[in-house]
Amino acid sequence: MRNIIKNINWRLEKDRNGIAWLQFDKADSGANVLSADVLEELDRFLKNLSEEQLQGLVILSAKPNGFIAGADIKEFTKLKDSSAAEKLIRSGQAVFDRLENMPFPTVSMIHGFCLGGGLELALACRYRVAEDHQRTRLGLPEVKLGIHPGFGGTVRLPRLIGAPNAMELMLTGRTIDVRRAKNIGLVDYVVPSRHLKKMSVMCIRNHLPVHKPSLGLRLTNNMLVRPFIKKVLIKNVNKRVQEAHYPAPYALINLWESYAGNPDKMLAEEARSVAELITGSTAQNLVRVFFLMEKLKSMGRSTDFSASRVHVIGAGLMGGDIAAWCALQGMNVTLQDREAKYIAPAMKRAYRLFKKRLKKPRLIQSAMDRLMPDVNGRAGLKRADVIIEAIFENVEAKQNLFREIEPVIKPDALLATNTSSIPLEALNRALSRPERLVGLHFFNPVAKMQLVEIVASASTGPDEVNRAKAFTRQIDRLPLPVKSTPGFLVNRVLMPYLLEAVSMVDEGISPADIDRAAVDFGMPMGPILLADTIGLDICLHVAEIISKGLNISIPARLRAIVKEGRLGRKSGQGFYVYKKGRPVVSKTSSSRTSAKDLTDRLILRMVNEAISCLNAGVIENADLLDAGIIFGTGFAPFRGGPLNYRYTEGSKNLRHRLEELEGHYGKRFHPVKVLESVTT
Ligand code: NAI
């Protein structure tokens, strides 16, 4: 190699064969992301190279973790308005156009992740050569941030691989592995790491053929066919989201249907569409949620604690699933219960989880080998780095257990309880070192719910909290530190919402109408169906605990229905009747109350309780609170969390509306005053 030119983010070398190697190494960043300065530098390199007599150009990454992760999301939050955004996107498009029109062959040499703007850059090259490895992942996840590709991806991708595959990738935001990428023609050549450079050179020197879509796939972009495909695409998107909440997929489909025959016009419209989306509230809130997630992830870095052995006591619904999840994440896990017969169902469920997630028999077998039944705890207790108690929700039973195990476990083992409602102060009394008990409050179903509340009492040691956070990250969950108060954060905020829904049923409003109002607001599931799914007995139990401390009254209806043995989905009947596990829902509306009234009653009780939690210091700040409610309950992410919703609705309006509702429905709507110290 000779002629090395280095800039801040790019490094150019030219070899003896006249091939330029342009290596991306984003300064001060662990991953390559495309920021405005990176694109400007790239443009200068490309301009100079285009004037030289070269055989070809290879673009590659210097980062071990991957090629390019996408655009720099931080820049999304700094856009003044949609015209500033459009200008920025147009200049990015111009760089990729220059790349596409280089007077010699160009290759993207891909390893690891190649996502979003990174894949769009690769699409502007003539060849895509990718490493044959399971860590190679390609995709266009923009839709998850409320936008669609903006650097020419919407134009180039359908042309390259046909509309059905291209739209599937862009509308779901899913990433695919290198095998699938090769099958659909997204990459041209797949080779082992050691042959990547050789293959790139071969593409350039031998002018190897590039992927060409079949005639059938090319026809999918034809103007006569597009309206039919559009109908199918819209129908599928409608199954997942509503246009008012998530406009991006609809904008993408319209863009393609209107302009797929005219690439120049489509590029201009692509930029205009993304500029509008990116400055809209959905994208801004989803970007906020992205950073909230990063914030929760960063919490695990406060200590270098690393566990390898986990012991779970109680192999019921929660303990069994926590144990399986830890084994799936590579931990060696022992699972204890009173008798072997209580552990067997958990082992069966674990096998199903491993089969679904790991697919290959060899991987499933090794996960099963990592999960060991341990009836009396003899194998695991003494050696575990983390012990998680998940037995019955009973103070005395838990205290007795702690007394028994404390002398046996390692002095530095992390000792955690999964209690959902018992204050830690009542449990750590049984320990000779009360400061070591911390709460690891998982949510059901464990494999789906990302959040884990890290519960600390006044006496819990800070080191224990830090180690609990680190462990939670180690098993790929999101830690949320909360104070030990009734219901902690998530259940406490969720409960008034569920109870309000039950009160509505009492007033004669149909469960289907109530659930529809919540889903139309953007909740993943209505409150009545959620209560039925959790189990009405469990809801009542948690409500009783929370209501004692917080003066929340429980509608008589809930007690009555539990007394009748209608416990929800698990008993075949709750507020809904279940046939083959599915609720029978009437489609016609029976309610005379306006939908707005239903929504406000449900959501504003949540918002009000969220403010109470903030005032009471259950959680450190408003951002963490929103993160907890979004990741712990699925609260409409595009609204950015209950407190963010309060800001966007305006806190004066909120107060006024709560007062109105208080006038109609009573004291439970009395607006909680926001303390000065927490108005973040
Ligand atoms: P469960 O009733 O399904 O399981 C409890 C298990 O503990 C049973 O298998 C029982 O045999 C075993 N057990 C009881 N005493 C024991 C002892 N002394 N030694 C060993 N094993 C013993 O209960 P579930 O729902 O799994 O709840 C467990 C804990 O998790 C409770 O503290 C609960 O509050 C909490 N939790 C429950 C959630 C839920 O949705 N069910 C959600 C979050 C936390």
pLDDT in tens, 3-27: 788 889 999 999 999 999 999 999 9
318 alpha carbon – ligand 1 mean position (Å): 6
550 alpha carbon – ligand 1 mean position (Å): 25
C-alpha span between 172 and 503 (Å, rounded): 37
C-alpha span between 266 and 502 (Å, rounded): 50
Take atom 39 of ligand 1 and give the residue whose Cα is closest: 444
581 alpha carbon – ligand 1 mean position (Å): 23
Instruction: Answer whether 315 contacts ligand 1 (Cβ < 6 A).
Output: yes
Instruction: Answer whether 417 contacts ligand 1 (Cβ < 6 A).
Output: no
* Helix and strand counts by DSSP (H, E) for the chain: 27, 23
Residues in a beta bridge with 194: none
The amino acid occupying position 420 is S
Instruction: Answer whether 389 contacts ligand 1 (Cβ < 6 A).
Output: no
Instruction: Answer whether 401 contacts ligand 1 (Cβ < 6 A).
Output: yes
Question: pLDDT per residue over 350-408, tens digit each?
Answer: 999 999 999 999 999 999 999 999 999 999 999 999 999 999 999 999 999 999 999 99
Atom of ligand 1 nearest to the CA of 346: 9
Stretch 562-567: mean pLDDT, rounded?
Answer: 95
409 alpha carbon – ligand 1 mean position (Å): 20
Stretch 94-103: mean pLDDT, rounded?
Answer: 98
Instruction: Answer whether 533 contacts ligand 1 (Cβ < 6 A).
Output: no
Peptide bond into 445 cis (omega under 30): yes
pLDDT at 465: 97
Atom of ligand 1 nearest to the CA of 535: 40
Question: Higher-confidence residue: 594 or 285?
Answer: 285
Stretch 571-580: mean pLDDT, rounded?
Answer: 93
Answer for the pair 160, 186: CB distance below 8 angstroms, yes or no: yes
Question: Higher-confidence residue: 611 or 674?
Answer: 611
Question: Is residue 580 pLDDT above 90, yes or no?
Answer: no
Question: pLDDT per residue over 631-657, tens digit each?
Answer: 999 999 999 999 998 877 777 788 899
Tokens, residue 125? 């090259």
Instruction: Answer whether 316 contacts ligand 1 (Cβ < 6 A).
Output: yes
Stretch 302-319: mean pLDDT, rounded?
Answer: 95
Tokens, residue 676? 């000065």
Instruction: Answer whether 313 contacts ligand 1 (Cβ < 6 A).
Output: yes
Q: How many residues are present in the chain? A: 680
Around 546, how many Cα atoms within 13 Å sit in the side-chain half-sphere? Answer: 25
pLDDT-based confidence at residue 680 (cuts at 50, 70, 90)? very low
DSSP structure class, residue 208? P
393 alpha carbon – ligand 1 mean position (Å): 6
Closest CA to 251 of 139, 317, 171, 324: 171
Instruction: Answer whether 418 contacts ligand 1 (Cβ < 6 A).
Output: yes
Question: Is residue 522 pLDDT above 70, yes or no?
Answer: yes
Question: Is residue 148 pLDDT above 80, yes or no?
Answer: yes
Take atom 40 of ligand 1 and give the residue whose Cα is closest: 444
C-alpha span between 582 and 575 (Å, rounded): 12
Question: Is residue 110 pLDDT above 70, yes or no?
Answer: yes
Average pLDDT taken over every residue of the chain: 94
pLDDT-based confidence at residue 481 (cuts at 50, 70, 90)? very high
pLDDT-based confidence at residue 675 (cuts at 50, 70, 90)? low
Instruction: Answer whether 572 contacts ligand 1 (Cβ < 6 A).
Output: no
Atom of ligand 1 nearest to the CA of 392: 5
Instruction: Answer whether 376 contacts ligand 1 (Cβ < 6 A).
Output: no
pLDDT at 550: 76
391 alpha carbon – ligand 1 mean position (Å): 4
The amino acid occupying position 276 is E
Q: Sort strands 137-139 and 451-456 into parallel, antiparallel or unpaired.
A: unpaired
Is residue 133 part of the annotated active site? The answer reads: no
The amino acid occupying position 614 is L
Question: Is residue 592 pLDDT above 80, yes or no?
Answer: no
Question: Is residue 43 pLDDT above 90, yes or no?
Answer: yes
Q: Which of 317, 394, 569 to mutate to test the pocket of ligand 1 (most atoms within 8 A of CB)?
A: 317
The amino acid occupying position 425 is E
Answer for the pair 109, 165: CB distance below 8 angstroms, yes or no: no
Instruction: Answer whether 475 contacts ligand 1 (Cβ < 6 A).
Output: no
Atom of ligand 1 nearest to the CA of 442: 43
Q: What are phi and psi of 115, to 5 degrees?
A: -125, 155
Q: What are phi and psi of 25, to 5 degrees?
A: -145, 80
Instruction: Answer whether 320 contacts ligand 1 (Cβ < 6 A).
Output: no
Q: Which of 318, 400, 539 to mutate to test the pocket of ligand 1 (most atoms within 8 A of CB)?
A: 318
C-alpha span between 306 and 62 (Å, rounded): 29
314 alpha carbon – ligand 1 mean position (Å): 6
Question: Is residue 674 pLDDT above 80, yes or no?
Answer: no
pLDDT-based confidence at residue 676 (cuts at 50, 70, 90)? low
User: Roughly what angle, to the nearest 10 degrees, separates helices 556-563 and 490-506?
Assistant: 90
Q: Which of 321, 341, 392 to mutate to test the pocket of ligand 1 (most atoms within 8 A of CB)?
A: 392
Residue 30: Cβ within 10 Å count = 10
Tokens, residue 588? 């016609």
The amino acid occupying position 275 is A
Identified catalytic residue from 111, 148, 311, 441: 441
Stretch 233-243: mean pLDDT, rounded?
Answer: 96
Take atom 16 of ligand 1 and give the residue whose Cα is closest: 391
Q: Sort strands 56-61 and 106-110 into parallel, antiparallel or unpaired.
A: parallel
